[in-house]
Amino acid sequence: MAPPVAEGALPAWVAVLGCGLTLCCLGGAGPLWSSSHEWRKLILTQHWPPTVCKEVDSCRDTLDYWTIHGLWPDRAEECNRSWHFNLDEIKDLLRDMKIYWPDVIHPSSNRSQFWKHEWEKHGTCAAQVDALNSEKKYFGKSLDLYKQLDLNSVLLKFGIKPSINYYQLADFKDALTRIYGVVPKIQCLLPEQGEDVQTIGQIELCFTKEGFHLRNCTEPGEQLPYKQEAWLAEGASTEGLMVCEDGPLFYPPPTKTQR
Active site residues: 69, 118, 122
CA–CA gap between residue 241 and residue 225 (Å, rounded): 15
User: β-strand 198-208 against 167-168: which pairing, if any?
Assistant: unpaired
Q: What are the beta bridge partners of residue 248?
A: 168
Contact between 101 and 90 under an 8 Å Cβ cutoff? The reply is no
- Quickly count: other Cβ atoms within 10 Å of residue 54's Cβ: 20
Contact between 93 and 138 under an 8 Å Cβ cutoff? The reply is no
CA–CA gap between residue 205 and residue 207 (Å, rounded): 7
Maximum Cα–Cα distance across the chain: 75
